[in-house]
Structure 1
Amino acid sequence: MQLNDIVTAVVLSVLPLVVIVPIGALAYSAVGERVRGLVPGIVLMEGSFLLVAVGYLWFVGGVNVRLGLLSGPELVLALALVPAPFALSVATERVRSLLDAEGEKTLNLSRESVPAALIVALVLVGPAEELLYRGIVQPLLVDSLGAVAGIGVMATLFGAVHYPSYGADSPLDVDRGVVIGCLSTGLVGAGLGALFVVTGSLLAPIVTHSLYDAALFAKAAVENDETGEGPRSDVGRQ
């Protein structure tokens, strides 16, 4: 067991929650209240993931991760897994109901924001999170703990750092609803990690993750249009 790699993986996993504070402050000083919108907020969070990942790669001189074109079967597998998180979301809501836990937070997505949201989902959310958690954190843990344990720890960290997406302002605000949401996100992270191991290509989980988040934005926009209320959305949580 390589303790240094495990510590590095943990630090890298939680560092975006620290990095986003000064980034958010700079953005607020530049554009004011506009930074509090859904899309700007996601850009700030995912930008923090990307900054940590790129900073680490610069520091260590890069990592050996295959990012070439997917073979036919690999692409089919990546596309076939896109609906899986939706099924998990249904199961998660059932668990919330059984445990009488608070439901998902309502997030507003205006029709005018949809194009920008889709671009962010496809270009930033999936690539940033996959590069950091599956491309960097997971190999560090797998090399130290083995594939199963490494993916398990990575998924736990991946789910835990998404607690702000479920309405908690700090770890002290975590309740049953937040824990359920983080566990759900962790399961998605485990699936993406397994996809990375099976295909050997980081592009596979990037495709699955990006298309899933884009579909969530589209779903949120449709719900908002039909009900006239803010849609319920997990975007940026996986």
Structure 2
Amino acid sequence: METPSRYRDGPVRTTLVAIGLAAFGILASQFTTLPAIALEPALATSPTDASLVSRTALLILNFLGFVLAGALYLAATGRGWSYVDLRWPTKRGWLYVLAGVLGSFVFYILVSLVVQVLSLPSADNQVATYIGNDQTMVLIMIGIVFFFNAPAEEFLFRNIVQKRLYAAFGRLTAVVVASAIFALIHIMSYAVLSDSLLATLVPVVVVFGGSIIFGLLYAKTDNLVVPIGAHAAFNAIQFGLLYLALEYDLETADPSTSLLVDLAAIVPL
């Protein structure tokens, strides 16, 4: 799907608009989570001490902030909901979903091996502070990634940010720029739990690589359901692995399980 001529723009302005959209998404997510924090202040100071219901509500509201930001942009620019590339995938589309999941696993396995071999530090995502070692919360996260996380992030960063970049760049360049923006907005969520710049940059690079994969799926299909499906399935499998790691205490088990633990630990929400 080509970008309509009335939406075409220069590369600098288009990139600034894309960055602004991403920043607005983060701001909106901070706003939408306020009701949950107001009802249970422990979410802001000691998340794992908060109730399961409030933690679930906060994470859902966080991702709904991205939807709110995208919806306001569509309304403000007159693009409307017809701008959203949402339809049931063809058989070829589902093959792209499968390819995206498999490609993501290959990428993350390679990253896990590099992290192990080089003994690189890696900070946790801020979302991990709401999960802790709570196995029930890990299972709840599987539902959240399918119904809130993947749809919200792909809607804003693929159908809004990446598609907006089509106005000034070729599709491959747009994928790279959108992925760089997506990775950069994750810096703070890793930095607050990091004790070094390297520990912050490692997961940010991982997020960038994963975003490239999902961005290519959207660029190839012009169908938002395809990257949503791949993103949700991949993260759900990761949370499933994390659940197994907690259930069977794999982190302290035989060293042969360490790759599974590392793969489960790197969840780029």
TM-score (norm 2): 0.76
Letter of the 2:64 counterpart: G
Cα distance in 2, alignment partners of residues 174 and 158 from structure 1: 21
Letter in structure 1 aligned against 2:185: V
| 1:1-238 map, 5 Å | 1-2=9-10, 3-34=12-43, 36-37=47-48, 39-40=56-57, 42-61=59-78, 62=80, 64-97=83-116, 99-105=118-124, 107=128, 108-165=132-189, 167-169=190-192, 175-227=197-249, 232-235=264-267, 237-238=268-269
CA distance in 2, matches of 1:59, 1:76: 35
Size of the alignment, in residue pairs?
235
Q: Is the 8 A contact 2:138 2:242 kept in 1?
A: no
Deviation of the 1:135 alpha carbon: 0.2
- Within 1, Cα distance between the matches of 2:183 and 2:25? 13
Counterpart contact for 1:16–1:45, Cα < 8 Å: no
Deviation, structure 1 residue 34: 4.7
Q: What SS does the aligned partner of 2:192 have?
A: coil
Task: Give the deviation of 1:78 after TM superposition.
Answer: 0.7
The answer for unaligned runs of 5 or more in structure 1 is none
Bigger shift: 96-105 or 190-199?
96-105
Q: Is contact 2:66-2:153 (8 Å) kept?
A: yes
- Give CA-to-partner distance per residue, 1:92-147, whole Å, 9 cap, x none: 23333455431353942423224422210100011001100110101111221221
Q: Is the 8 A contact 1:142 1:151 kept in 2?
A: no
Q: What is the CA-CA distance between 1:49 and the residue it aligns to?
A: 1.8
Contact 2:175 2:216 in 1 (8 A): yes
For the Cα contact (< 8 Å) 1:93–1:103, is it kept in 2?
no
Counterparts in 2 of 1:95 and 1:178: CA distance versus 1, 3 Å: farther
Cα gap change, 1:11 to 1:124, in 2 (>3 Å): same
Deviation at 1:164, TM superposition (A): 4.0
Shift of 1:163: 2.4
- 2:265 maps to a residue whose letter is S
Aligned-CA RMSD value: 2.8
- For structure 2, the residue ranges without an aligned partner over 5 or more in a row are 1-8, 49-54, 253-260
Mark the CA change 1:85 to 1:177 in structure 2 (over 3 Å): closer, same or farther: farther
For the residues of structure 1 that align with 2:179 and 2:224, how far apart are their CA atoms?
A: 16
Q: Distance in 1 between matches of 2:97 and 2:237?
A: 14
Give the partner amino acid of 1:139: K
